[in-house]
Structure 1
Amino acid sequence: YIEKWETLRNEINLDLDRIQNGDVNELMDFQKNTRDWVEGVNREFETAQLRKKGRLLSDDFFEETTVTN
Structure 2
Amino acid sequence: MSENATGVTEEEKFRFDLTGFFIRPAILTPDEVAAIVDQIDRIFHDPDSLPPHERGMPGGAAQLIIDHPKVM
TM-score category, normalised to shorter length: 0.3 to 0.5
| TM-score, scaled to structure 1 | 0.38
Where relative contact order (Cα < 8 A, 6+ residues apart) is larger, the structure is: 2
More helix by share: 1
User: Considering only CA atoms, is the larger Rg found in Structure 1 or Structure 2?
Assistant: 1
| TM-score, scaled to structure 2 | 0.37
